[in-house]
Structure 1
Amino acid sequence: MALSFFDQFMSPSFLGIPLMAIALVLPWTFYPEASPQWVTNRYMTLQGWFINRFTQQLLLPLNVGGHKWAMLLTSLMLFIFSLNMMGLLPYTFTPTTQLSLNMALAVPLWLATVLIGMRNQPTVALGHLLPEGTPGPLIPVLIVIETLSLFIRPLALGVRLTANLTAGHLLIQLIATAVFVLAPLMPTVAILTAIVLVLLTILEVAVAMIQAYVFVLLLSLYLQENV
């Protein structure tokens, strides 16, 4: 049976149980809970330092009203980062390559930022739809354009994450297939291709971290406009 390269992006199931549910729960086992002891191990200290530094960097451009989102944004960053990294392991499924999952994360959070802006400062929130000093004839056109750009934001969040991870994983599979095909025919070319595969895998590790950060960063910028 010939398998398609895109079969790796289908949501698999085992004994009728969707493996996406297991993949979504598994990342939380990687982060141990905080200990009530004063002295902890090095892993807990490093984890706490990283979370504190990331939270400080994330909240730097936000007003005080947006600091309530600190725990949510930090947890979301760690969650997406863990899912992206797990997907680079052999014989694993990456839930963040599914547009449905990414949109399920992007739409409610984006909508929450918009509703916060409409509740706390409706004049400023609606003012974003019409830049100051706009000529009269262009007002209807600009309102339509700004409204469309507002509703495209969650789509951009979900599609960006999906497209980057899907393209990287597909390229890794293509190059890996080329290595196995060229190994018995042209060993030298196969070794060079394998080196390219290793470098590409390192690049994908960086992409997995960057895309998780970009997702949360853009969400924090949307929040900044509404707090």
Structure 2
Amino acid sequence: MEFIPDYHLPTQPTTAETRYRLCQDFFDHQIPHAIWFEDALVHYGVPNVVFDLYILVEDIDRAANLLTQAGWTLDMKKPPRIGNAEVDLVDFPQRRLMSPDGQTITVLLPAAGWKFHLTSETRLIYAPLENKSTHGVPFPPLAGLLDALIESWLDCPSDDAMLLIVLACQISYLYAHVPGLKQRSFADQMKYEHRQFHFDVVAGMETGTLPFRRHQRVIRDALLQGEYELRECSASRDDKDLFFPLGGSDLKRS
């Protein structure tokens, strides 16, 4: 699938040291956090351009207060964006702040609202920065990122079309660019209720479409209720809603 809306590029590039500077403040004040959306995809090899910096935290008000005390300013720019796409996040709490140097908009999101749990048991991936005194930058593990994106997409309100497209694109980008996701065995690292989703993608099912979403929601719910057994592929390849002979995406199919 392909989604190319109008770009809004940053006015100046920023280094990783500058972009992720706030992580040190969060570490110093014991605020659990994880980098999200495009920055997380880039960490795993997706060739994205990064835009606003999205970070998951447990308490967005506490994290926002800390940043404002450190020089960040609230940014009320509308509408919000994920990547370069305008999305409707009315139903999703957030705090948008501009960095002191005016180069990066940081968007704080509640981790639980985006299906990711920041607990002491969560093994984040810490990417080192050039400044050896820092703790590094915390990224979600690949399986945790994929599970959260899948769950967010399956549970996203159906009338939020652009958010559905953005989440579907991010899932598709991971499958397209991360070699490990091309293996059926990666399912062993995922939540049980998302393993058939993975098997179906690896089997070549056309992903990111509304028929695919409906199909996967039914299977996910059946797995959770113990009424479905995992299989190599959950549908016949003759099903034209789920397997398109020429490929491509059809997010607007009903």
Return the structure number with greater relative CO, CA threshold 8 A, min gap 6: 1
Query: Smaller-chain TM-score range?
Result: under 0.3
Q: State the TM-score, normalized to the length of structure 2.
A: 0.24
Higher strand proportion, which one? 2
Q: State the TM-score, normalized to the length of structure 1.
A: 0.26
The structure with more radius of gyration: 1
Higher helix proportion, which one? 1
